[in-house]
Structure 1
Amino acid sequence: MIKDFVSFANNVLWGEYQVLIYILVFAGVWFSLRLRFIQLRHFAYMFKVMKGSTQGDKSGISSYQALCTGLSARVGTGNLAGVAMAISLGGSGAVFWMWVIALLGMATGFAESILGQLYKVRDDHKEYRGGPAYYIRAGLNKPWLAVLFALCLFLGYGISFSAMQANTITDALNHTFDISSVYSGAVITAIAGIIVMGGLRSIARFAELIVPFMGLAFILAAVAVTLINIQHVPAVLMDIFNSAFGLTEAGAGALGAAIKNGIQRGLYSNEAGAGSVPHAAAGATPVPNHPVAQGYVQMLGVFIDTMVLCSCTAIVILLAQGNIGSEMEGIRITQNAMTHHMGMSGDMFVAIIITLFSFTSVVANYAYAESNLHLFKLDNIYGRTVYTLLYLSMVYWGANATLKEVWNMADMALGLMTVVNISALMLLTPTIVNLTRDYQVKLKATNKPEFKLADVKIQGKTEDGVWS
């Protein structure tokens, strides 16, 4: 019965009706227009705002840690297994549509992250917490919708997403090193437990150490593969664009598959609009001290995740020039492609990288769901203990489940979260626009914007003491 429900929900969200594709494209276009294509106009400023971003305070993590925490959740199986699945099911044209949804998603990610900052609260430890459930409750005064989002988040990030990431790790290690998923799953679960017991700060410190290293290693490998095969790059790029618009031999029949799988896997990778990254954004003390500063930080995260890392995976796979079957093969497509370029060392490299990519997602997913315990007044030792045990049990279950079961549940959870979050973002558009305008006016005037509640008309109210 559960499988039937998951199948029905995914059919509505991703399948026959493709509700999410229309919602996400509309949201990306909407915020791109309302914010005057801020992702293009202020592209260089995204990098500039990271200056001085390594300092936090007793209430919040640093902006750099927030970026790394957001990337640690974004950068996972979607970048390696997800891209491979998109190409497998939608052809090379799916890559183009991943780029499109990322470009539009940068504006959506900007919008949701500044709301996460604005409506953040202090928990029982006087540390910042926030996310869509908080800005739905405080900004829209709709507690029932906030609870609905939080429940979807627990289903997604608290249960299925970490299970799916663990599944990809164990599959890659079994394929390359012949390590039993029973043993690798137990090790993953144990290490994750040690890290998450320290809470958001522990996870943020882990992320800022691992994420830059693993990202740079993968980029350098992809650049090396590209340079070795530089004569084939023009043909690959031409194939991507031709396939994206149904101009190849497969024709229009493949166009729908390219769009659907490119957008679906692009969203799953960069998470723009899903309502996950605002949790990391809300946990930061921004520099400059304005909610919009975190919008730029997390917009940069969308760019790095999809436009850089996903593109690296796509070029490695397409340059392999192998026969990519129609079966859902996940990470093994990427492993086979890297083996083609680098021999057996390529297979081992991907296994190690996917282990790092996915494991950082496993621990970051915990932080996102844990942030919502405060909403239910469960931010205490009993609530955290029960949630942690459930989370770790799902990590171990996922390590030994089948790929299809895990992906289907993850798709449903992500879809439900996105519907609720995008609905809230649309209703809170006036606040998003007003905050952005206030920041940009002050940036021109002083070059160091400082947020004052009295200067901006917002919907609802913020928690006492956070911005006063």
Structure 2
Amino acid sequence: MESIVERLNSIIWSPPLVWLCLGAGLYFSIRTRFVQVRQVREMVRLMLAGGKSDAGVSSFQALAMSLSGRVGIGNIAGVATAIAFGGPGALFWMWVMAFLGASTAFVESTLAQIYKEKDDNGRYRGGPAYFIEKAMGQRWYAWIFAIVTIVAAGFLLPGVQANGIASAANTAWGTAPAVAAAIIVVGLGFIIFGGVKRIARFAELVVPFMALAYILIALVIMFINAAALPEMFGLVFRSAFGLEAGMGAVLGLAVEWGVKRGIYSNEAGQGTGPHHAAAAEVSHPAKQGLVQAFSVYVDTLLVCSATAFMILSTGMYNVVAPGGEGAMLYEALPGVAVGPSFAQAAVESVLPGWGASFVALALFFFAFTTIIAYYYMAETNIAYINRRMHRPWMIFALRLGLLAAVTFGCLRTAEMAWTLGDIGVGLMAWLNIIAILILQRPALRALRDYEAQQTLGVDPVFDPDALGIRNAELWHDIRATHRIESERT
């Protein structure tokens, strides 16, 4: 069974997908005239602005929900894995993926906003399945994406996060995997049975705090190891291009693992972020597109880099050569496994006595909120499937299935958990990137319209008819609401 899963993963994550992700990011960067650079100031402003309503959450809540999905075990164990199998240079390619991927995130999230709908409970819903059907007119393609996302986000990906929590808790406190599973299941049950508003409130409170605390500890460790930083940065760049002695053989692996773990972590192009973007209450789709582009920066340039800097500056890592043997580039800690233990050993070496516990707690919150985000994605795609036929049992089955997947993830091997997670990410990325390359035009029109109104000094309001965008009926009501509010003020 494991050999079949490994073979499937190698097919999905073949070089064409790696280059498709990089190529799409570069293409969208050029088409948007590098919106991820030009509009950084606007991204920050929008992140803190925007209202919410009974139908949608605020821009910041949507950002927090999105970050809860992006910031997870990939930011700790995923970074360690990338370094182990791709060398320190994998971090550079994660940065490249984040920079280019921010433009991809803008396009997919703007499309999600343009073609969002209201569900039976009056809440905004959207994502790739919605814009594939409404913009492309290919319902079969939309159903395939929806089904793949339900399986990936509801059953494959949660196991990776749960496995990381159990592993870190066992390293820090000797907690049995079964005990970790019970704690996670109880907490998740309380949140996911409370609905999207409870998910948004939880993410809004937890995500900023945990990310800032983690980055702060990384800065402390970097300050303590300041003398090692020049060599560390030099190593990253030399390794990225195969210039480090003994690392030339893993040059291709640096690109592959940097892109692979970069996508797993920041999710740009994967099709997950659009689900959260569509839930926001905004006056123009490009607003949430810009906010979601900024979330890619937060995930990779800040949180992932924090993990990498802790591991590299303290030397608590090794690199697995293509032949399978470990090539020690610093005095790596004997017996440290690939995964959360790398980061735990790094913090423990500088802050003995509580470093491993801190990373375990950070990982718990990172992974726990990510599982919640996965549930929301799967629920949104079930809502898509249920638009024409009411099947309430599907949501209940999803909740039970996700809790079972989390329990199973805590008890199975980390290698199998990661392989299944990679399959889920890869399938979604293939389907979503091809779709947004075909459907890019409405997002680009929305960007031009937003920037034209921005130049006039007005708060941009979206009018799909004026831009020749069809099947965006919900925006007629949204536009009317914003007009009434403007007249009142």
**Take 1:48 and 1:19, find their aligned partners in 2: how far apart are those partners?**
37
Q: Is the 8 Å Cα contact of residues 75 and 357 (structure 1) preserved in structure 2? A: yes
Partner deviation per Cα, 1:126-184 (whole Å, 9 max, x = no partner): 10001000000111010110011111111211111111101100111011101111111
Structure 1 residue 18 corresponds to structure 2 residue 15: yes
Asked if structure 2 preserves the Cα contact closer than 8 Å seen for 1:102 and 1:302, the reply is: yes
Distance 1:405 1:66 in 2: 31
Aligned pair partner of 1:31 in 15, 21, 28: 28
Deviation at 1:191, TM superposition (A): 0.8
Equivalent residue number for residue 365 of structure 1: 374
What's the counterpart of residue 109 of structure 2? 113
For the pair 1:181 / 2:180, whether they are aligned, the reply is no
Q: 1:148 aligns with which of 122, 132, 144?
A: 144
Which 5+ residue runs of structure 1 have no aligned equivalent?
none
The code of the aligned residue for 1:395 comes to: V
Matched, 1:453 2:464: yes
Partners of 1:280 and 1:143 in 2: CA distance: 21
The answer for the alignment partner of 1:134 in structure 2 is: 130
Which residue of structure 1 aligns with residue 409 of structure 2? 398
Q: How far did 1:5 drift?
A: 4.1
1:42 to 19, 39, 42: 39
Q: Where do 1:337-416 residues align within 5 Å?
A: 337-377=346-386, 381-416=392-427
Shift of 1:199: 1.4
Report what 2:333 is aligned to: none
Q: In the comparison of the two structures, how many residue pairs are matched?
A: 462
Asked if the contact 1:428/1:459 (under 8 Å) is kept, the reply is: no
Distance of 1:322 and 1:375 partners within structure 2: 46
Q: Aligned AA for 1:201?
A: K
Task: Name 2:313's counterpart in structure 1.
Answer: 319
Which deviates more from structure 2 when the two are superposed, residues 448-457 or residues 203-212?
448-457
Q: Report the more deviating stretch, 95-104 or 449-458.
A: 449-458
> Secondary structure of the residue that 1:363 maps to in structure 2?
helix
Q: Distance in 2 between matches of 1:379 and 1:173?
A: 41
Q: Which moved more, 1:246-255 or 1:188-197?
A: 246-255
Whether 1:268 and 2:277 are equivalent positions in the alignment is no
User: Does the 8 A contact of 1:123 with 1:379 survive in 2?
Assistant: no
Q: Tell me how far apart the structure 2 counterparts of residues 379 and 306 of structure 1 sit (CA, whole Å).
A: 39
Please, which moves more after superposition, 258-267 or 453-462? 453-462
- The worse-fitting range, judged by mean Cα deviation, of 262-271 and 247-256 is 247-256
Instruction: Provide, for residues 280-337 of structure 1, a one-character-per-residue CA deviation record: whole Å limited to 9, x for no partner.
Output: 0001102xx1000000111110000000110110100001124525376211111111
1:164 maps onto 2:160 in alignment = yes
Match of 2:455 in 1: 444
**Equivalent of 2:286 in 288, 292, 300:** 292
Contact 2:76–2:343, Cα closer than 8 Å, also in 1: yes
What is the CA–CA distance in structure 2 between the aligned matches of 1:4 and 1:199, rounded to whole Å?
38
Report the Cα distance in structure 2 between the residues aligned to 1:230 and 1:433, rounded to whole angstroms. Answer: 43
1:427 aligns with 2:426: no
Deviates more, 1:318-327 or 1:346-355: 318-327
Partner letter of residue 407 of structure 2?
A: Y
Secondary structure of 1:457's partner? coil
Distance 1:150 1:338 in 2: 40
Structure 2 residue identity aligned to 1:373 = I
Report the TM-score when normalising by structure 1: 0.96
Aligned to 1:258: 254
User: For the Cα contact (< 8 Å) 1:138–1:462, is it kept in 2?
Assistant: no
Rate the CA distance shift 1:394–1:211 in 2: closer, same or farther, 3 A.
same
Tell me if the contact between 2:147 and 2:381 (Cα under 8 Å) persists in the aligned partners. Answer: no
Q: Which runs of 5+ in 2 are unaligned?
A: 321-325, 327-336, 480-489
Helix, strand or coil at the partner of 1:273: coil
Partners of 2:390 and 2:450 in 1: how far apart?
A: 33
Summarize deviations over 1:253-275 as a string: whole Å, max 9, x none.
12111111111111100000000
Amino acid at match of 1:208: E
Q: Which amino acid aligns with 2:40?
A: F
Alpha-carbon distance, 1:447 to partner: 3.1
The change in CA–CA distance for 1:379 and 1:184 in structure 2 (over 3 A counts) is farther
Per-residue displacement from partner, 1:186-222 (whole Å, max 9, x unpaired)? 1101110110111111111000010011011001101
Per-residue CA distance 1:211-261 (angstroms, 9 max, x = gap): 011011001101111111111111111111111111110243121111111
State the Cα distance separating 1:459 from its structure 2 match. 5.4
Measured in 2, the distance between the counterparts of 1:298 and 1:382 equals 32
One-letter identity of the residue aligned with 1:18: P
Q: Hey, what's the Cα distance between the residues in 1 that align with 2:453 and 2:345?
A: 51
State the Cα RMSD in Å.
1.5
Residue 6 of structure 1 corresponds to 5
